[in-house]
Amino acid sequence: MKNSFRKLIPVAAALGFAFSASSAQAFTLQNGAGTVYATDATSLDWNEAGSGVAIGVGPFNSGKALTVGTNFQFLYQANLVGVTGTQTDAWLNGIDASSDGIKRSSPTAFEYTIVAKLSETVTSSGVIGGLATANFGLNNTVGANKVAIYYDTKANASTKAGTGFDDGKLIALLTVVPDGSLSQFTAKSASKGQGSTQLQALIKEKGDFIDPAYLQGVGEMLFGVQFDSNLNYPAGTSATNNFQKGGDETLFPGYSVTANDIVFKVDGATTLNGNPVPEPGTMMLLGMGMLGLMGAKRRRAPKA
């Protein structure tokens, strides 16, 4: 990864999910049919050539602040390039980490992709030292803020074409919520800018899920996803005129970029947080402990 597009520091423990403040349990990445790609996994790394578009808020000027209250939609698409954990030969021999739309020659080639749609609003804006800056929040509308992960053996994701990102097997769908989600961007000139985004997503709305056949050890105890990214403009190798084309039109309708949009290079990572369900043995011990406390209280109680 290029240093200029490196991840934000908080994502170093991406996709680790905490059982307590001091411990975490890793998960297993697999293909839904029992083939394991990585064990003891603690992070997923999305392509630095991922692309994003802010619809209807461009072109921007470094000396002009955005209007507070302006609403717009933001779209994102990227493919998986790495996993931190014990990788298997199936992963090394099969992962297609490119986003050129051409399937890797391996007969077992596969890809994971991520897409998102967000309904955002400008919450604050100003010009400091000649640089326009703005902060953004989410509009809390049902179905408007979604992040999804797909698994695909076609391995055909293409950044340039904006296709192949949402045409595979949907393995996770979550709702991005306002709490814990924030974005900011600074326009350094009419053609340069940089910002950051942190999104908190939950299994909240009808249809939200995560498939344990692909993310084993996460499914039943998942309660949230934190996605962090760096946003860079101009888009460079992430430049595209299309987003989420040729795939799941119901969840993510395809979009073609216009002159009033801003296309970004987006380098992202994801953190999955766990909410563990105690094992039966643990529940029994807790119950015995409570009974013991109740008995001790009875023994200490003074006689009438």
Q: Looking at the predicted structure, is the pLDDT value of residue 230 above 80?
A: yes
Assess if residue 281 is contained within a domain: no
291 is a domain residue: no
Note whether residue 98 is domain-resident: yes
Is residue 271 a contact partner of residue 223, using CB atoms and an 8 Å limit? no
Percent of residues, the chain, with pLDDT higher than 90: 60
What pLDDT does 159 receive? 97
Q: Is 298 within the bounds of a domain?
A: no
- For range 144-166, the mean pLDDT: 97
What secondary structure, in 3-state letters, does the chain show?
A: CCHHHCCCHHHHHCCCEEEECCEEECEEEECCCCCEEEEEEEEEEECCCEEEEEECCCCCCCCCCCCCCCEEEEEEEEEEEEEEEEECHHHHHHECCCCECCCCCCCCCEEEEEEEEEEEEEEEEEEECCEEEEEEEECCCCCCCEEEEEEECCCCCECCCCECCCCCEEEEEEEEEEEEEEEEEEECCCCCEEEEEEEEEECCCCCCEECCCCEECCHHHEEEEEEEEEEEECCHHHCCCEECECCCCCCCCCEECCCCCEEEEEEEEEEEEECCCCCHHHHHHHHHHHHHHHHHHHHHCCCC
Query: Is the pLDDT reported for residue 176 higher than 60?
Result: yes
The domain of 70 spans: 3-276
Least confidently predicted of 40-49, 189-198, 215-224: 215-224
Of 8-17, 260-269, 283-292, give the lowest mean pLDDT range.
8-17
Main-chain phi, psi angles of 131, to 5 degrees: -110, 125
Is 72 among the domain residues?
yes
Looking at residue 219, its pLDDT comes to 54
Q: Which of 145-159, 167-181, 185-199 holds the top average pLDDT?
A: 145-159
pLDDT tens digits, one per residue of 66-81: 889 999 999 999 999 9
Residue 47 has pLDDT above 90, yes or no: yes
Cα–Cα distance for residue pair 253/88, rounded to 1 Å: 35
Write down the mean pLDDT value for the chain.
81
* 228: in domain: yes
Please state the domain count of the chain: 1
Domain membership of residue 187 (yes or no) is: yes
Pairing of strands 169-187, 193-202: antiparallel
Predicted confidence at residue 282, as pLDDT, reads 33
